Amino acid sequence: MDKFRPVFKLSKEKKAEIDKKLKEIEDRQDDNVEHLEGTEVVFYRFDESADYFSRSVFEIATRQWQGASCIDFTWENDNKAENSIVSIKEQGCWSYVGRVSGEQPLSLGDGCDQAGIAAHELGHALGLFHTMSRYDRDTFITPVIENVEEGFIDQYIKRLLKPQVTTDIPTIRAVLCIMERQECICPSGYGRALCNESPKGCGQTYMAKETEQFLIDKLGFPSNVRYEYLFCNHWIEAPQGKKIEVKVSSISYGFAHDGCILGGVEIKSSKDQIPTAYRFCSHNDRNTVLVSGSNRVPVITFNRFNQQQVILEYKIAQ
């Protein structure tokens, strides 16, 4: 049985306690994902330990999953559901991988009150493993274990079994049309029915020239940390056959955190624009220069704290 610790290392006592729980249901784990096949309704409830903040981000995460899949998360508080996820608040952010018969806990402890973390843990509960521990991970990545902190090495142990379908991850990250809803899950920076246009909402298209121009983006408003991100999607384009040079000119102070969790900019300069691209959020990132692999560079700004300003210089690459 697997768990996930995205932000905090658990204490030895808590790790031992969780490992004991994992051992108790180990025999039932191998076919957890199989149990989820065809499941469209996932019941959940909140434990008394779950406070207002953890409940709020959990519900935001369920809405995000519902918007990107055919899964319907249904709240039930009468304990009548045969299987359900119970949102609890213990130490750390963790979840079992796949469905466990009966009630299974999902912890959003202190510091886990982010919608992205809650959505991540729900992904585990639905049966998704980390990229670096999937049975087929060597086809896509090469982990450098000596660079991993000692307490997290177990997160890089490759699964020997094959309990999930290879297309599990692409259904989330790649362009996949869900035929039941006739909707597409698009890569960041793309949207609309066929993922061939810029997403609706904030953003515009800029045409690169031989001379430098500026993209100035202000996003957010004076506030404390918010649960959800604001997004703005821009496209920088050039004539066919041309490439684009993008330079990070300026980023507001106060956003330089690991993972750019408070805000930043994603610049999709690679030719393959399906994966998440380079993200910048530090003032020290200024003067970074990227050259595109095609004649289009989606630029996505995101923010969930106060207001930020990102200034990019762009031109047709020589």
Taking the model in full, what pTM does it have? 0.75
Whole-number pLDDT of residue 190: 96
Whole-number pLDDT of residue 6: 43
Asked whether residue 256 carries a pLDDT value surpassing 90, the answer given is yes
What does the pLDDT average to over 77-93? 90
* 121 given a catalytic annotation: yes
| Average of per-residue pLDDT values in the chain | 84
What does the pLDDT average to over 172-192? 65
234 assigned to a ligand binding site: no
Which residue's structure tokens are 């379908």? 165
Is pLDDT larger for residue 299 or for residue 228? 299
Winning range, highest mean pLDDT, from 67-76, 162-171, 293-302: 293-302
What does the pLDDT average to over 188-210? 94
Q: pLDDT band at residue 67, thresholds of 50, 70 and 90? A: confident
124 assigned to a ligand binding site: yes
- C-alpha distances in angstroms, 134 versus 97, 98, 164, 204, 216? 12, 14, 9, 38, 40
**Which member of 40, 82, 103, 121 is catalytic?**
121
Whole-number pLDDT of residue 91: 93
Asked whether residue 223 carries a pLDDT value surpassing 50, the answer given is yes
Q: Which of 100-109, 161-170, 282-291, 294-303 has the lowest mean pLDDT?
A: 161-170
Whole-number pLDDT of residue 17: 56
What does the pLDDT average to over 73-99? 90
Q: Which of 63-77, 114-128, 299-313 has the lowest mean pLDDT?
A: 63-77
283 assigned to a ligand binding site: no
pLDDT in tens, 117-162: 999 999 999 888 888 888 888 988 888 989 988 888 888 888 776 5
Q: pLDDT band at residue 282, thresholds of 50, 70 and 90? A: very high
Whole-number pLDDT of residue 161: 62
What does the pLDDT average to over 265-287? 96
Q: pLDDT band at residue 173, thresholds of 50, 70 and 90? A: very low
Whole-number pLDDT of residue 101: 80
Whole-number pLDDT of residue 158: 84
Asked whether residue 1 carries a pLDDT value surpassing 50, the answer given is no
pLDDT in tens, 46-61: 999 999 999 999 999 9
